[in-house]
C-alpha cells in the first residue's frame, strides 16, 4: 500500500506555538498533498508537493518531502485556534486521474 501514515495521531499545543506533523508512506509516489478537515466537515486542500521538490511554503505552512526516507512533514507556524482540525497527507503515483490515498490523520488541537 502506498498510503500515508501520519504521526502523531493527536497533538495539542498552545496558541502561538509551531505545530509539526509527519507523514510516512511505503511506495514511490509522484505527489504528496496535505489536507485539513474541520470536525465533520469537508476536506480543504492545503498544499501539493511533487516528488522532485524538497520544500514548499504557503503562508504559515511549510511542507518538506524526503523521498529517500519516504516521509513528509507539515509545519504550521504561529498556530491559531482556527488551526484546530485534522490534517491528512495523501499520496498518488502521478498519472493524471490517479486516486489519492489518505492517511489516518493527525488531530491537532490548539489551546487558547
Residue closer to another protein, measured from CB, 6 or 79 = 6
Q: Is 25 one of the binding residues for another protein (CB under 8 A)?
A: no
Quick check: 92 binds another protein (CB under 8 A)?
Answer: yes
Classify residue 95 as exposed, middle or buried by CB count within 10 Å of its CB (0-12, 13-18, 19+). Answer: exposed
For 83, the grid coordinates are: 488551526
C-alpha cell at 79: 498556530
Identity of the residue, 18 or 28, whose beta carbon is nearer to another protein in the bound complex:
28
- The residues binding another protein (CB under 8 A) are 30-31, 33, 35, 40-45, 48, 50, 88, 90, 92-105
Amino acid at each position: 500500500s502506498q498510503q500515508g501514515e501520519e504521526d502523531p495521531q493527536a497533538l495539542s499545543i498552545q496558541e502561538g506555538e509551531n505545530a509539526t506533523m509527519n507523514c510516512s508512506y511505503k511506495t514511490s509516489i509522484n505527489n504528496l498533498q496535505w489536507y485539513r478537515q474541520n470536525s465533520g466537515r469537508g476536506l480543504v486542500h492545503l498544499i501539493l508537493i511533487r516528488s522532485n521538490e524538497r520544500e514548499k511554503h504557503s503562508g504559515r505552512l511549510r511542507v518538506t518531502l524526503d523521498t529517500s526516507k519516504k516521509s513528509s512533514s507539515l509545519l504550521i507556524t504561529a498556530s491559531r485556534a482556527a488551526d484546530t482540525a485534522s490534517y491528512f497527507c495523501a499520496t498518488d503515483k502521478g498519472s493524471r486521474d490517479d486516486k489519492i490515498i489518505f492517511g489516518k490523520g493527525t488531530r491537532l488541537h490548539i489551546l487558547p
